Amino acid sequence: MALNPIAFKIGAWPVHWYGVIIASAVVLAVVLSVREAKRRKLISDDIYDVILIGMPVALVTARIYYVIFEWSYYSQHPALIPAIWDGGIAIYGGLIGGLLVVLLVTRHKLINTWLYLDIIAPTVILAQGIGRWGNFMNQEAYGRIVSHSFLTNLHVPTFIVNQMFIGGHYRMPTYLWESLWDVIGFIVIMLLRHRPQLFKQGEVVLTYIIWYSFGRFWIEGMRTDSLYWGPFRVSQVLSLILFFGAIILWYVRRKRNPENRWYLDGHSLSQNV
């Protein structure tokens, strides 16, 4: 029996587990980011300002991204374009919107952008990993048809097996693979990010990009609900661009500035490429 996607109601208004899970992930990400920001001599408001502006912007850009690549449907049903509560947001679209806000806010506040991205990157990938459980509650972001024995042999809890029974078939829990990949990435980055012999300034966020895009490329290939650009899965194309782009940028930055380091003072105009 599938789990109820509605957590509770406020009057006649249903509050979905998807929203509860995403909100919880954001709160945890903010708490962790604020702690690291203070360590890097930034103030809490530097994080809160980006969240307050970035969350609604990211939500809108995530929806726009999804609608663009599903335009054949939404062009026939334009009234449904704002219906974000029915599903249909793309994480890459949200990340693009969030990045634009970070660039604008850090420039306005005279904060080193690379430092800021290094601070929030680990918490972003953690929030992504937690957020995938919202897909689980909505029975989305799944893969091909599999057998019941395939799922039980994974030794996952029974409630996961039951929730993967969708449309009369058991499905590959690709949301779970991505959640695990993201959480492992968070742990790895958190364990290593304060080691200057490994990471120079800007390389924590580049590690996040490399890690996430690599995993997303392979996991996206397992999904049955991908957005397409012609014959290509959009997220796979973007993952390849980000993966190799981050590696090239890492190399170029090290080549240009081998002494690049963490800045303890976040309010620095140095924006090393």
In this prediction, residue 270 has a pLDDT band, given cuts at 50, 70 and 90, of: very low
Mean pLDDT over 214-237 rounds to 93
CB atoms within 10 A of CB 112: 23
Would you say 223 and 235 are in contact if contact means Cβ atoms under 8 Å apart? no
- Binding-site residue numbers are 132
Residues in the chain: 273
In this prediction, residue 71 has a pLDDT band, given cuts at 50, 70 and 90, of: confident
d(CA 127, CA 9): 24
| Residue type at position 139 | Q
**What is the structure's pLDDT at 269?**
42
In tens, the pLDDT along 157-185 reads 999 999 999 999 999 999 999 999 999 99
Residue 148 neighbours by CB under 8 Å, 6+ apart? 161, 170
Q: What is the mean pLDDT of the chain?
A: 90
Q: Looking at the predicted structure, is the pLDDT value of residue 263 above 80? A: no
Report CA-CA distances (Å) from 36 to 23, 44, 244: 20, 10, 28
Lowest mean pLDDT, pick from 69-83, 88-102, 138-152: 69-83
Residue 139 neighbours by CB under 8 Å, 6+ apart? 2, 5, 163, 164, 166
Q: Looking at the predicted structure, is the pLDDT value of residue 262 above 60? A: no
